[in-house]
Amino acid sequence: MALDNPLTNGSATLAAKDNSRQTLDHLPLDPGTRELLERLQAQGIDQTDLSSHLPKRLAAVLVLLYSHAGVLRVLLSTRSKLLRSHPGQTALPGGRVDEGDKDAIETAFREANEEVGLPFPSSLSTSDSASLDASKTTAPDIHTLCTLSPHLSQWGIVVTPVIAYLSSPSAHEFLQSSLTANPDEVDRIFTHPLEAVLDPQIVAKEAEDGLVVLAERGTEDWPYEEEFYSTADRLYPDLGNTVYRMHRFRSTASPIKGLTAEILIRVASIAFDRPPTPPIEQYAPDQIRGFAEMRDLMDKFGRIR
C-alpha cells in the first residue's frame, strides 16, 4: 500500500524482560542515526508495575522508526471512521492487551500486524506465544530499542510506548510494498519526520521542496487557522479542573494530536536530546506530567477502575 507521504499467569504487569532489546552494533548505521537510536536504547525496558490495573485498562503502541534520505521517520495511521473510539484520528499502531500477550512488546507488534500488516520481528517467537499467529511472516530487520514508562489517556487507559527501528536499507520501499491497511480499523497509512514534532518547520521544508504534499488547509485533515502547528489548553472539570495541552501537527494525512502527539514529542525529545523549538511548549502551566501523579488524580476522581 502506498504511504501518504490479558495477560499470562494472572499478572497485569506489561513490563518485558530487559533482554527483549536488540543490539545495534552489527547494523550499518550512519553516525547521526546511530546516536539517535542509542539514546533511545539507553532508556531500557520500563519496569513500571501495572499489577494494580485491570487488564482491560492496559494497552501498548508501537513507535516504529526508520531512516529515509537521512531523516528519521515514524509510521502512523488514520483510524477508520467506522470505529467507535477516536474515528478518523491519527494513531500509532497499537491497542488493548489480549489475554495471551506476554508483555507490551508483544501487544504492540500483534496490533501492528493486525492493523497494517507489519511483519513480526524475527526476535519475537510466535511459536512460544498464545496470541501470535505462527503462520505470519517475520522480518529480521525490525529491532526493539526500548519501552517507555506508560502514558494515561483521558479515559484512564494505561498506554506503554514500544520503540523499534526498521533497519532495511530500503525501509521506505519495504513499508510501501508490505503494509496493507485493515479496512475495519485503518483508513490511511502514512509517515512523518520524527523531529518535526519538535520543530514543525521541518515538515514545512519538506513540503516546500516538493518531497511531500501536506493535508489541505480548511479541510477535516487540517481545520485549524495556523499553518503547521496548533495548540490549545483544555480544562477537565471532572478531573478537578486539571489542565492538558493539546498539540496538533499538520501531516500528509490526518492531524497528529492528543496522546499520539504527546508520545511522539517525548520520543523525539529523547532521541534528539532537546526540547521542542518555540513556540512549542510541551506542557501547560501547572499541567501534571508524571504517570504516577496522573494515575493518582484519575483514581481520586474515579476514572481508573
Q: Place 140 in a pLDDT band, splitting at 50, 70 and 90.
A: confident
> Per-residue pLDDT for 16 more than 70?
no
* Residue that the C-alpha cell 492493523 belongs to: 115
Predicted local confidence at residue 9, as pLDDT: 34
Mean pLDDT, the chain, integer: 90
- Span 68-114, pLDDT tens digits: 999 999 999 999 999 988 899 999 999 999 988 999 999 999 999 99
- Any idea of the CA torsion for 108, 112, 118, 124, to the nearest 10 degrees? 20
Report pLDDT digits (tens) over 113-124. 999 999 999 888
Q: Structural domain boundaries of the chain?
A: 8-300
Pick the more confident residue, 160 or 26.
160
| Separation CA 295–CA 285 (nearest Å) | 19
Q: What pLDDT sits at residue 10? A: 36
> % helix / strand / coil in the chain, to the nearest 5?
30, 25, 45
Helices (H), 117-196: 171-178
Residue 211 banded pLDDT, cuts 50, 70, 90? very high
- Cell triple for 229: 502547528
Residue 303: predicted pLDDT: 79
Tell which wins on pLDDT, 3 or 162.
162
CA atoms of 118 and 256, how far apart (whole Å): 21
pLDDT: which is higher, 126 or 194 = 194
Between 34-48, 89-103, 189-203, 289-303, the lowest mean confidence (pLDDT) is in 289-303
Of residues 297, 293, 303, 14, the one with CA closest to residue 155: 303
Three-state secondary-structure class, residue 236: strand
| pLDDT at residue number 6 | 31
Closest CA to 14 of 161, 122, 130, 163: 161
DSSP 84: S
pLDDT at 185: 96
Q: Tell me the residue length of the chain.
A: 305
Q: Report d(CA 113, CA 129) in Å as an integer.
A: 15
C-alpha to C-alpha distance for 117 and 238, rounded to whole angstroms: 38
DSSP state of 124: S
pLDDT value of position 17: 57
Which of 60, 104, 32, 19 has the alpha carbon at shortest distance from 271?
Answer: 32
pLDDT for 218-244, tens place per residue?
A: 999 999 999 999 999 999 998 999 999
Instruction: Reduce the DSSP state of residue 39 to 3 states and report it.
Output: helix
Q: What is the pTM of this model?
A: 0.91
Q: Which three cell numbers stand for residue 276?
A: 521542542
d(CA 266, CA 38): 15
Class of domain 8-300: alpha beta
Q: How, if at all, do strands 158-166 and 58-68 pair?
A: parallel
Tell me what percent of the residues of the chain surpass a pLDDT of 90: 76
Q: Which has the minimum average pLDDT: 16-30, 86-100, 147-161?
A: 16-30
3-state secondary structure of 217: coil
**How crowded is residue 233: how many other Cβ atoms within 10 Å of its Cβ?**
14
Question: What DSSP element (H or E) covers 233?
Answer: strand 229-236
Place of cell 492496559: 58
**Of the listed ranges 20-29, 185-194, 207-216, 292-301, the one predicted with least confidence:** 20-29
Mean of the pLDDT values across residues 247-274? 98
pLDDT one-digit tens code per residue, 29-73? 999 999 999 999 999 999 999 988 888 999 999 999 999 999 999
pLDDT of residue 243: 96
Which amino acid is present at 287?
Q
Contact between 72 and 194 under an 8 Å Cβ cutoff? The reply is: yes
CA-nearest of 62, 128, 137 to 101 is 128
